[in-house]
Structure formats: structure tokens, C-alpha cells
Amino acid sequence: MKSLLSFFIVFVAINLDLYAAEAGMPQLDPTYWASQAFWLVLVFSILYFFISKFYLPKIKDNLDNRDNKIKEDLENANKFKEQSETKLKEYEKILDDAKKDVLKIHFESKNILNKDIQSKKESMENEIGKEISKAQKEILEIKKNSITSIQNISENIASNIIENISGEKLNESSIKATVEEISKKNIYRYL
Amino acid sequence: MANNPMQQFTVHKIGPEIKIAGVDLSFTNASLFMVISASIILLFLFFGSKEKKIIPDKLQLIAELFYTFVAKMISDTAGSKAKPYFPFIFCLFMFVLFCNMVGMLPYSFTVTSHIIVTLIMALFIFVAVTIIGFIKHGFKYFSIFVPSGVPAVLLPLITIIEIISYLSRPVSLSVRLFANMMAGHTMLKVFGGFVVSLGILGGWLPLSFSVALTGLEILVAFLQAYVFAILTCIYLNDALNLHH
């Protein structure tokens, strides 16, 4: 490897020496300097004219357009975002209000219903009580009536039985007194 | 001699001789490749800016990349005052870049490997920058040679150095581009010659060198165009902003 490299270096030296002796630098030959200068100025001027007049403004326009578009889009996006946020807030507010309303309505209706039920219950109880006391009175009366009629009937039955058995009429007042006495003894069973 | 590595730089006439006032202005192979490079640039920019799409196609994207690349270069080095000179610097960058790149093609001619071409561009830039400096700042532009914050003892020396460095700008600018292009192409040619002369057994090593050098030369072609343009921007910055 080393020998190869040194061989290269020697080769380079020889070659360059040869060429330097033969040609030198064509760059320093002034034959075509004027021509090169002339054509350089011409070509560069044309290039400059076209680039500065047509292409750079176009590219700049395009870049500006894109920047503006991006800016606009970003602004729009921000605007929409804000809008959606306000909408969301409104929505949440509405939802909250609705929840409160629901609670309120629920509570109120519960109260009303309770009151209603209470009052109806009370009136029903009153009526029921009235009916019951009325019925009790009636029952009592009926019972009293029935006792007197039972006494009468038992007096009749007793006088009839006695008449039929003994063939003679007993004193009505004594029968009555006896029946009364017996019924008084047993009346507690029916009252 | 076809093996001569300098032979690729010879200029020869194409077509009839054109003489204006005794000066030979014939169309040469150098002129041809200037025209080819310029045509490629114009065609590329034509198709790159033809359709104004919001989402660019490939050519449009590349053209816009070049635009933003040069625009950023100028605004970074010379500030916003250099905006009016943007087309010139864009043009300069594109021309040098495409001349270098076209020169990388086999059997082509590298326009920028000639000192006269680069010197004319550099001299134009030098003269233009100096004129701009004097127009913008008048006689205050001479203060570019007197840096601030230098002790009085050193001032004459520094001023002389500054003047020399200012005057050597066109030389350094032109020789840098010319020497880089010439050296690279000479080296490629020399290694190419080795491939032939060492034959099938020994030719592989210089061939691989050649391949590597071609890659390097493409890099150099881009880099030198960039350096040429950015140095122009820096000189322009000196002339426009004058903060030395």
C-alpha cells in the first residue's frame, strides 16, 4: 500500500512537470479575455433582466400568497375555535339551567302533590269519621228500638203462653215488670 | 495532448470570428457554457414559477427553496437595507452555482475556472459596493478604514492594513473561486489520467479517488457559489450599514 502510494506521488510529480512544461495555464492566455468578458456581461445582463423582471416577483408573489393563505386559515381556525368554545359554554349553561329547572319543578310538584294528598286524606278521614259516628248512632238507635220492640214482643209472647197454659189472663203490668227484669239481666249481652 | 489536465481549460472559437473595433469578441466554448448555464437557470425558474400552486410541485419547491435560501442569506448578513440588491445577489449565486455544476459534467467547460470571468464579477461587485458606500454615506464611508476603539499609536498601521484588505477584496474574491474550480478539475483530470495509465490492475485506487473527488467537487461547487454570494453580502453590509 505504502509503495503504491509513493509510486503515485512520483507519478504525479512527473506528470505535472511534463504538463507544466508543455502548456501552462490557458487561463492566463489573453487571446479570448475580451470575448469572455463581453459574453459574461451580455449573458449575465440578460439573466439578471429576466430573473429580476419576471421570475423573482412571481416566486415572491407565490410565497406571499401561501403565507397569506396560511395566516388566513390560521385566523379562521382560531375564530372557529373561539366560536365553538362560546357555543360550548352556552350549551353548558343551558344544560345547567335545565338541570336546575328540573330540580325545581321536581321539588315543587312533589310539594304540591304532598299537600294535595294530605288535604284529601284529611277530608276523607273527616268524612269517614262522620259516617262512622252517624252509623254508630243509627246502630244504637236501632238497638234501643229493637230492645223495646223485643220487650213488647216478649211480653206478648209471655202473656200468650201463660194464657194458653193456664187459661187465665195475668196482670199485664206484672208481666211487663218480669220481662223488664229478665231483659235487664241479659241486655248487656246485646249492647 | 488529450491527457494534459490543463487542456480542459483551453478556450476555442465556435463559429465565425466576431471583431468589433479590433477586439476579438468571438463566440467561444466559454460563451457557450455561459449561455447553457443561463438557459438552464431561466428554464428552471420558468417552470418553477409557472404555476402558482398553494402546494408546490417539485420544481416550484426547489425554486422557492433557492429564493428563501438567498433571501435568508441576505437578511442574515446584510439586514433589511440590502433588499433592493436581492435580485442581483440571487442572480450571482445562481449563475456561479450553475456554472460550477455544469462544469462538473464530463466534457463540459467550467466558466468559473477562468480568472478573467471571476475577476470581472469580483471587480464589478467591488466597484458597485464602493459606489453604494459613497452614495449612502458620502465621505463618511472613508471611516471604514479607521476601526473604532484602536489606540492612536496603532491607527496608521491599522488604517494601512484596512486599506490593503479592502483593495484586495476583488482579488481574493475572484482568485478563491477560480483557484478552487481549477484545482478541483485539474485534480479530477490527473486522477482520471492515472486510471488509464495504471491499467486494469492498478487503476482501481485512482478510480475510487476520482469518485470521492467528484463528490467533493460537487460540494466545492456549491460551497464556492455560496461563499461568493455571502462575501458579496458581507461587502454590501459594510457599504450599507458602516459599523466598523
Quote the number of domains for chain A.
Answer: 1
Cβ burial A111-145 (10 Å sphere, 16+ → b, else e): eeeeeeeeeeeeeeeeeeeeeeeeeeeeeeeeeee
Residue A19 and residue B6: Cβ atoms within 8 Å? yes
Size of interface A-B (CB pairs under 8 A): 149
- What is the C-alpha to C-alpha distance for residues B179 and B160, in angstroms, rounded to an integer? 27
Residue B64 and residue A16: Cβ atoms within 8 Å? no
Structure confidence at residue B3 as a pLDDT band (50, 70, 90): low
* Structural domain contains residue A3: no
pLDDT score recorded for residue B244? 52
Task: State mean pLDDT over B95-120.
Answer: 90
Residue B202 and residue A29: Cβ atoms within 8 Å? no
Task: State mean pLDDT over A99-112.
Answer: 95
pLDDT score recorded for residue A19? 47
Structure confidence at residue B80 as a pLDDT band (50, 70, 90): confident
Instruction: Give the residue from A18, A32, A58 with the most B CB atoms within 10 Å of its CB, the best one to mutate.
Output: A32
Give strand pairing partners of B23. Answer: B20
The whole domain housing A163 covers: 16-189
* Structural domain contains residue A53: yes
pLDDT score recorded for residue A8? 56
Residue B91 and residue A51: Cβ atoms within 8 Å? yes
pLDDT score recorded for residue B158? 87
A51 contact partners, CB below 8 Å, separation of at least 6: B41, B42, B45, B87, B90, B91, B94
Residue B45 and residue A51: Cβ atoms within 8 Å? yes
Residues in chain B closer than 8 A to A66 (CB atoms): 54
Asked if residue A58 has pLDDT above 70, the reply is yes
Least confident of A49-58, A82-91, A115-124: A49-58
Q: Residue B20: what are its φ and ψ, rounded to 5°?
A: -120, 120
Does ipTM exceed 0.85? Answer: yes
The beta-carbon neighbor of B87 closest among A12, A32, A51 is A51
Residue A35 and residue B120: Cβ atoms within 8 Å? no
Residue B34 and residue A60: Cβ atoms within 8 Å? no
* Structural domain contains residue A5: no
Number of Cβ within 10 Å of residue B112's Cβ equals: 29
* Structural domain contains residue A4: no
Of these ranges, A15-19, A175-179, B25-29, B220-224, the one predicted with the greatest mean pLDDT is B220-224
pLDDT score recorded for residue A14? 53
The beta-carbon neighbor of B87 closest among A31, A35, A52 is A52
* Structural domain contains residue A52: yes
* Chain B residue whose CA is closest to A10: B194
pLDDT score recorded for residue A82? 95
